[in-house]
Structure 1
Amino acid sequence: MFQPAPYTQLNARQQENYRFHKVAARLPDYGFNCLRLTDDWQRADFIAYHISGQTFLKVQLKGRLCLDKKYVGKDIPIAFLRGEDCFAYPHDELLATVRSSGVLDEESERWRVNGQRHWPTPPGWGSEFLSAYKIYATKVAA
């Protein structure tokens, strides 16, 4: 009855739903509940709120490591999957990291013209940055 649905055969909307469920499935172990949004409210695809009542995250889902000028100053974590790994990193912290290292500046054509930069496979510096933002799968207690 249940057959795996290959991610590559899903349309764009289905892929975004897939990513949401995969990311949201990890967050309860860290005390977060997730609410999917039907539109990009304040640039967010979903809201993650912590059981403490103190943390409320507006999260943007992506298919890869990326930066976009429309997220600058919005306090948005970007969540994405890479294989079985899941990450949620603060957009502006990544921007500060790439600017300070010289990886990205206003002379970078993609950034200057399109306002975006993405990496299908995180480079070495990207993997190092992401290591602090990996959301580990945990064992479910019986």
Structure 2
Amino acid sequence: MFTRVDYSKLNARQKENYNFQKVAGRLADYGFNCLRLNDDWHGADFLAVHVDGNAVLRVQLKGRFSFDTKYRDRGLHITFFANEDCYVYPHDDVLAVVEKRGRFGETISWAERGSYTWPSLPAWAVEILAQYRV
């Protein structure tokens, strides 16, 4: 009755919905209830509300490890999957570490457009993101 979907055959919106459900499932294990937003609210695709009633994460869903200057100073977390690993990291905190280590170099993407993504997770990033794996 149930047939697994081929992720590569989903369109962009379907992939976003799929990824949201996968992340929400992971965060549920840590006491978070995820609430999908109809549009980006201050950069967030969804809210993750903790059962303690105090913690609320504003989360931007991405397809890969990335940063964007438009997300600075917004208190956002970024989430993405690298293979079977799911990461939810505070954008500004991790960005500060990556900038300090000079991992953008002199790229046009970062210098002129203010955004940067990696098509696959670099080995050096696994160390930085280890504490944010869920």
TM-score by length of 2: 0.95
The CA deviation at 1:16 is 0.3
Q: Residue in 1 aligned with 2:82? A: 82
Within 5 Å, which residues of 2 pair with 1:104-115?
104=104, 107-115=106-114
Residue of structure 2 equivalent to 1:53: 53
Question: Equivalents in 2 of 1:81, 1:65: separation in Å?
Answer: 8
Q: CA RMSD in A?
A: 1.1
Distance in 2 (CA, whole Å) between partners of 1:12 and 1:104 is 27
Equivalent AA in structure 2 for residue 79 of structure 1: T
Identity between Structure 1 and Structure 2 (%): 51
Structure 1 moving runs of 4+ over 2 Å: none
Distance in 1, matches of 2:98 and 2:30, equals 28
> Counterparts of 1:11 and 1:70 in 2: how far apart (Å)?
25
Question: Partner letter of residue 57 of structure 2?
Answer: L
Residue correspondences, number: 134
What is the CA-CA distance between 1:78 and the residue it aligns to? 0.4
> Which residue pairs with 2:129 in the alignment?
130
Determine the C-alpha separation between the residues in 2 that align with 1:112 and 1:25: 36
C-alpha deviation, 1:59, in angstroms:
0.3
What TM-score do the two structures reach when normalised by structure 1? 0.90
Note the residue ranges of structure 2 that are not aligned, 5 or more in a row.
none
SS of the residue corresponding to residue 40 of structure 2 reads strand
Distance 1:16 1:84 in 2: 16
Q: Aligned with 1:35: secondary structure? A: strand
CA distance in 2 between counterparts of 1:81 and 1:57 reads 18
Inter-partner Cα distance in structure 1 for 2:8 and 2:87: 20
> Structure 1: how far apart are the matches of 2:32 and 2:102?
35
Deviation of 1:99 (Å) = 1.1
Find the aligned partners of 1:85 and 1:124 in 2 and give their Cα distance.
14
Partner of 1:66 in structure 2? 66
Q: CA deviation at 1:104?
A: 2.5
Match of 1:99 in 2: 99
Gaps of 5+ in 1: 136-142
For 2:131 and 2:7, the matched residues in 1 are separated by 26
- Work out the CA distance in 2 between the residues paired with 1:64 and 1:120: 7
Q: How far off its partner does 1:108 sit?
A: 2.9
**In structure 2, C-alpha distance between the alignment counterparts of 1:21 and 1:89, rounded to whole Å:** 18
